[in-house]
């Protein structure tokens, strides 16, 4: 409802209804990730006021999963002393292909879920509440545009580097989804033709197969297995210490040379993919989010070196390549932003 419509409505409200109108408005966000689902409430400035999370179980029935999200949302509302009347709407991120106009999840490859009518399911519970559904990476791009560093640029590329790699394009202040909702899929830009590793999409040599958190961890595991005398193998006590993109970053910061090399190699591949994008659409910035963005300092210089070599024109060489202004909650802010005009 527009502000004007709300004002008009307020003139005829009863005292009880006027009390309702005094509720602080919140936008609800539901971010269904591959491993966990975040549910939260954000105010109109994009600040997440409360959130809860629970595991995403691929074995679970999608509607049973949505029902859990509804329960979590009710708990969030209750904790803020609010209720459903406080909601501007509910934005839902799905980890895969979405049909925003139909409010559907079309296909989430990691979860194996297909054709889930998210909007109609939620509106069965709450008929009056607007529900928007989007691909999670596109929602992140939109959230960054409204509430993060993206507001300083008319056009930018959003890149999530996490277990996989995804991208969202904002051109002239609009998230561009493309003809088939597939625009910005930078994770599947080919960056290695000679020794391309297999990617989940079926191709070889994709950026995701060489620079995602999964790829970085896999490269380290190979070194640990094949070179038991290396500094990296010793750092991880030959496999007894838990290996992750984060623990590998700690190793790099402590000077373990193989860990430093793996992050720089990932930066080289990211730089190649970024160069292609910069030459094609001349963004104002590239903004990086996702768990691996926390280790940006370890691969920033490699990205910049390759971008400087790979793009035309001096203005493209100095395009800011920066990390999200929304931190860990970027995806949740992105989901909530779907219903904030």
Contact between 201 and Zn ion per CB under 5 A? yes
233 vs 122, 147, 226, 252, 257, CA distance in Å? 49, 42, 9, 13, 11
Classify the phi-psi angles of 334: left when phi > 0, otherwise alpha if psi is within -120 to 50, otherwise beta.
alpha
Q: How many helices (H) and strands (E) does the chain have?
A: 13, 13
Backbone φ, ψ for residue 91 (5° rounding) = -105, 135
Tell me whether residue 39 or residue 206 sits nearer to Zn ion (CB atom). 206
SS3 188: helix
39 closest CA partner among 63, 56, 60: 56
Contact between 335 and Zn ion per CB under 5 A? no
Tell me, what DSSP letter sits at residue 111?
A: T
Tell me whether residue 123 or residue 204 sits nearer to Zn ion (CB atom). 204
Contact between 206 and Zn ion per CB under 5 A? yes
Give 27's contacts (C-beta < 8 A, 6+ positions apart): 41, 42, 43, 44, 87, 88, 89, 90, 91, 336, 337, 339, 340
Compute the C-alpha angle 251/254/259, nearest 5°: 35
Q: Applying CB under 5 A, which part among 20-28, 64-72, 174-182, 196-204 lies near Zn ion?
A: 196-204
Q: How many residues touch Zn ion (CB under 5 A)?
A: 5
> Least distance in Å: CB of 191 to Zn ion?
10
> Least distance in Å: CB of 202 to Zn ion?
7
Which secondary-structure segment (H or E) carries 299?
none
Contact between 322 and Zn ion per CB under 5 A? no
The 150-189 site mask, x for binding Zn ion (CB under 5 A), equals --------------------------------------x-
> Least distance in Å: CB of 206 to Zn ion?
3
Which secondary-structure segment (H or E) carries 205?
none
Tell me whether residue 209 or residue 287 sits nearer to Zn ion (CB atom). 209
> Least distance in Å: CB of 274 to Zn ion?
17
Contact between 311 and Zn ion per CB under 5 A? no
Contact 146, 160 (CB under 8 A): no
Tell me whether residue 186 or residue 206 sits nearer to Zn ion (CB atom). 206
The 104-133 site mask, x for binding Zn ion (CB under 5 A), equals ------------------------------
Contact between 65 and Zn ion per CB under 5 A? no
Tell me whether residue 129 or residue 201 sits nearer to Zn ion (CB atom). 201
> Least distance in Å: CB of 105 to Zn ion?
20
Contact between 273 and Zn ion per CB under 5 A? no
Residues that bind Zn ion (CB under 5 A): 188, 199, 201, 203, 206
């Amino acid at each position: 409802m527009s502000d004007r419509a709300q004002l008009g409505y307020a003139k005829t409200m009863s005292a009880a209804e006027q009390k309702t109108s005094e509720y602080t408005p919140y936008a609800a966000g539901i971010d269904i990730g591959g491993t966990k689902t975040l549910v939260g409430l954000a105010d109109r400035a994009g600040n997440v006021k409360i959130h809860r999370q629970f595991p995403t179980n691929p074995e679970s029935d999608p509607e049973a999963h949505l029902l859990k999200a509804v329960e979590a949302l009710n708990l969030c509302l209750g904790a803020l002393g609010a209720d459903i009347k406080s909601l501007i709407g509910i934005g839902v991120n799905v980890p895969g292909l979405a049909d925003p106009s139909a409010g559907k999840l079309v296909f989430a490859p990691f979860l194996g879920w297909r054709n889930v009518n998210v909007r109609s399911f939620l509106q069965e519970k709450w008929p009056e509440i607007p529900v928007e559904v989007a691909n999670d990476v596109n929602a992140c791009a939109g959230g960054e545009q409204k509430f993060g560093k993206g507001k300083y640029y008319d056009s930018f590329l959003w890149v999530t580097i996490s277990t996989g790699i995804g991208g969202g394009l904002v051109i002239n202040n609009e998230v561009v989804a493309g003809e088939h909702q597939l625009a910005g899929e930078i994770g599947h830009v080919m960056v290695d033709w000679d020794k391309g590793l297999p990617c989940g999409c079926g191709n070889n040599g994709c950026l995701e197969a060489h620079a995602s958190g999964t790829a970085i961890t896999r490269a380290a595991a190979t070194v640990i297995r094949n070179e038991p005398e290396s500094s990296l193998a010793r750092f991880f006590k030959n496999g007894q210490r838990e290996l992750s993109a984060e623990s590998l970053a700690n190793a790099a910061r402590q000077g373990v040379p193989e860990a430093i090399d793996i992050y720089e190699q990932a930066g080289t591949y990211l730089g190649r993919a970024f160069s292609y994008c910069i030459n094609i659409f001349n963004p104002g910035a590239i903004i990086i989010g996702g768990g691996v963005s926390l280790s940006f300092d370890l691969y920033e210089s490699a990205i910049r070196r390759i971008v400087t070599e790979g793009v035309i024109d001096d203005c493209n060489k100095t395009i800011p390549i920066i990390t999200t202004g929304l931190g860990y909650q970027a995806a949740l802010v992105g989901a909530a932003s779907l219903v904030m005009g």
